[in-house]
Amino acid sequence: MATGSFNPFQMAQQQFDAVAEKLGLDQATCDLLRQPNREIHFNIPIRMDDGTYKVFRGFRCQHNDARGPAKGGIRFHPHETIDTVRALSMWMTWKTAVVDIPLGGGKGGVICDPHNLSMREQEQVCRGYVRAIAPLVGPLQDVPAPDVLTTGQHMIWMLDEYEKITGMKQPGFITGKPVGSGGSLGRKEATGFGVIYTLREALKDLNIDITKTTASFQGFGNVSQHALKLYTELGGRAICVSCWDHHEQKSFTYKKASGISFDEIMSITNNFGEIDREKASGLGYEILPGGAWIEQEVDILVPAALENQVNAETAPKIAKTVKVVAEAANGPTTPEADAMFKERGIMVIPDFLANAGGVTCSYFEQVQCNMNYFWSKEEVLEKLDRKMTEAYRAVADLAKSRNVYMRDAAYMISIARVAEACKMRGWI
């Protein structure tokens, strides 16, 4: 979230400006693409379980829809800000463009903490959110999805409310729904698996055998869980994972040098991705401070939490052994940390490429819903692997041929595609 002096939207604009200059974009194109096309701020008043009323603040940003309907998650977070939502909507535009799917960038958020809300209260927030944005969203306008602290259950409540308002069955309105209610098989795995598909290709480029690598993961939500699962299935050794502890209101790092077993760690993890410290200690995990994940002597770092985690303060702590940073989170690395990575020759798989598996599979879900025909899990993951591999190859080849940083190469591809679509439409 945008806290203190860190502003994710300013960072997103800073990243854009640097690449716009490299591409030689004209001023009008820059002015159009460095701001969201549309944003809405609204109140969600709901009746709480104790009979009192409480008003929650909600946001929705549609950054750009030149290449197709806006697409982007809705996050519930006590420290949500409009600048975070603006930045994420912008990154979604680049994300859909880099994997070349016909969608644009959107994002939404509500300032709330679902830990402190009953299921009925959460349902009311979901329905109130949809009522506020209904005229501006839909299968052919803007398609939401889950994000931080939201789930398939939240999505199905939102779909139900939207269908009540429109009087039509519109399963393509929202993605990340439960399987059996219009959800796609493979969606839960998609973002985490996509991270590892790109990591697998990066290690090939570096001539590194994945079975001889070690990794440290920050965060243990859905994305990190599935990334760790596939990484270990491919033969990698995960030795560290950090996660938030709601009761202590801080994070801890759980280390097992011999390697973390996915099934074992999942058996002591709750629905919010929080690991039980007492049980972890009993299973031989070393309990370290929350920031220790970044200091481990591993080959691969996977930041899979929130923005601004790898910055001028934390990046110098990264061990000399680290060769690859696979950004599973959105905006985890600041420009100051990027400069350090360039200097040290650490390969970074940029966030909007590495974690594009989620939106790619959301696109598959949307396609399946709109044509009312669903694919097998194997088919979904095979299509996802192919799409992510193609996207990685295009970025890596451009980075090599133009001798530019991976993040810059990904931006150059994305921004050029979006700018061209805007020009073709006669917007600029």
Active site residues: 107
Where do the DSSP E strands lie in 49-151?
53-64, 70-77, 105-111, 142-146
Place of tokens 């016909």: 102
**Which letter does DSSP use for residue 177 in this model?**
P
Per-residue tokens: 144: 């939401």
User: Phi, psi at residue 53, to the nearest 5°?
Assistant: -110, 145
Q: Which of the 8 DSSP states describes residue 114?
A: G
Residue 343's CB: how many other CB atoms inside 10 A?
8
Strand ranges inside 48-139, DSSP E: 53-64, 70-77, 105-111
Phi/psi region, residue 375 (left: phi>0; alpha: psi -120 to 50; beta: rest), is beta
Cα–Cα distance list, 77 to 88, 124, 302 (Å) = 14, 16, 22
3-state secondary structure of 349: strand
DSSP letter, residue 273? S
Q: Which residues contact 201 (CB under 8 A, 6 or more apart)?
A: 389, 392, 393, 396
Which residue is it, tokens 């306008």? 141
Q: What is the DSSP letter of 179?
A: B
Q: Which of 307, 277, 269 lies closest to 4 in space, CA to CA? A: 307
Tokens 């209101």 label which residue?
A: 249
CA angle 352, 198, 408 (to 5 degrees): 45
How many other C-beta atoms lie within 10 A of the C-beta of residue 289? Answer: 12
